[in-house]
């Protein structure tokens, strides 16, 4: 915690004076981000840093392996990712959704190999969302590294498909109010790839 407080003090001493007017404006008018980013919780993958975005520019949802569950009929269970999607799309009316996958994803590795023995309460059920992506990867290659990379790419595509199962997302995509994008960040090299219309990924 001491390191975090030291960081806060640096923020107050350097960044806050420069951005005080921006934060005051955001406080007065509220947030109006144009883009929702669905990213992994991995500490090495910071969407605001990758896209060089400032306060108020991105609405970010982070979870294990940047997964979007398929739409479910509303009930009284807890649907954190779906609730965030609903807020971003229906309340904030974002114009873009970006699903951001990344290399060396621990969540994808758990989906491929099984979750850690010490994390069996919630993780196994969550990463079952990735099962269709894992099937794709296992059918394409037996090489462990290549299989992981293919699965990481496939999870981005799976989340994009699952997004379209939400009726209020699919209708906005159909009428042009909302555009969806896939992206993939290589942690070791800093290269960002985009999902292209032909279904492949290439450097942005």
Which pLDDT value is given to residue 141?
Answer: 85
Residue 196 is a catalytic residue: no
**Angstrom distance (rounded) from CA 190 to CA 196:** 19
pLDDT tens track for 8-43: 999 999 999 999 999 999 999 999 999 999 999 999
Residues forming a β-bridge with 183:
100, 194
In this predicted structure, the answer to whether residue 52 has a pLDDT above a threshold of 90 is: yes
Delineate the domains of the chain, giving CATH numbers in brackets.
1-30 (no CATH), 31-203 (3.40.1050.10)
* Contact present, 89 and 172 (Cβ < 8 Å): yes
Would you call 42 a catalytic residue per the annotation? yes
Nearest partner of 112 among 81, 152, 70, judged by Cα: 152
Q: Is 155 a catalytic residue?
A: no
Q: Is 78 a catalytic residue?
A: no
Indicate if 40 belongs to the active site. yes
**12, 29, 62, 102: which is the annotated catalytic residue?**
102
pTM attached to this predicted model: 0.94
> Which CB contacts under 8 angstroms, 24+ apart, belong to 191-196?
192/50, 195/156, 195/157, 195/160
How much is the average pLDDT of 105-133?
A: 95
* Half-sphere exposure of residue 119: CA atoms within 13 angstroms, side-chain side: 13
Residues 6 or more apart from 66 whose CB is under 8 A from it?
38, 39, 40, 99, 100, 101, 102, 105, 107, 155, 156, 159
């Amino acid at each position: 915690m001491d390191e975090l407080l030291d960081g806060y003090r640096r923020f107050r001493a350097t960044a806050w004076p420069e951005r005080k007017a921006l934060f005051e404006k955001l406080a007065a008018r509220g947030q109006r981000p144009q883009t929702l980013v669905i990213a992994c919780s991995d500490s090495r993958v910071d969407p605001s840093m990758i896209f060089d975005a400032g306060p108020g520019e991105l609405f970010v949802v982070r979870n294990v392996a940047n997964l979007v569950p398929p739409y479910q009929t509303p009930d009284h269970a807890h649907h954190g990712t779906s609730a965030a999607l609903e807020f971003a799309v229906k309340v904030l009316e974002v114009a873009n959704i970006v699903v951001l996958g990344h290399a060396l994803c621990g969540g994808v590795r758990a989906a491929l190999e099984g979750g850690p023995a010490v994390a069996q309460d919630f993780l196994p059920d969550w990463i079952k969302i990735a099962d269709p992506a894992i099937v794709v990867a296992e059918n394409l290659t037996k090489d462990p590294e290549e299989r992981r990379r293919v699965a990481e790419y496939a999870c981005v595509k799976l989340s994009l498909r699952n997004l379209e199962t939400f009726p209020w997302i699919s209708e906005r995509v159909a009428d042009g109010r909302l555009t969806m994008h896939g992206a993939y960040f290589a942690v070791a090299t800093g290269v960002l790839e985009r999902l292209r219309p032909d279904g492949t990924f290439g450097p942005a």
